Structure 1
Amino acid sequence: MRVDCFKCKYFRVTWDQNNPRGCSAYGFKTKQLPSILVKQSSGMDCLKFSPKPQQEGKR
């Protein structure tokens, strides 16, 4: 399963130009997508992925 960080409620964009992407579940910032760093570090897919709540009117 490939985790899509952009659809995760823990994904955030930071003000740090060197590390513009972050994960509030794991508490880190990175240049790449957090799910890629988790996979490289642990060898496992991200276990903290949680889909963002659906906004009304959006599909």
Structure 2
Amino acid sequence: MIEQERMNCMKCRHYYVTWDPGAPRGCRAFGFKSQAMPSQVVLASSGKPCLNFEAKDKG
């Protein structure tokens, strides 16, 4: 995987932490929860990096 394809979900406004111990990470843009980081799930299932990444507001 090239470095440009890696997304840091924790810096994305769509990322959230869930209460589900089996799927503690979620993505509001795609509407799913998973055990892995959402960007890894998107890359594995589509073969493309996440196109919904939006940086969090710094304010």
| Structure-1 residue corresponding to 2:28 | 24
Runs of 4+ in 1 over 3 A off after TM superposition: none
Tell me the distance in 2 between the aligned counterparts of 1:35 and 1:52: 15
CA distance in 1, matches of 2:36, 2:45: 13
TM-score of the superposed pair, with normalisation by structure 1:
0.91
Structure of larger gyration radius: 1
> What fraction of aligned residue pairs are identical, expressed as a percent?
47
Structure 1 gaps of 5+ residues are: none
Cα RMSD, aligned residues only: 0.5
The normalised TM-score by structure 2 is 0.91
Structure 2: gaps (5+ residues)? none
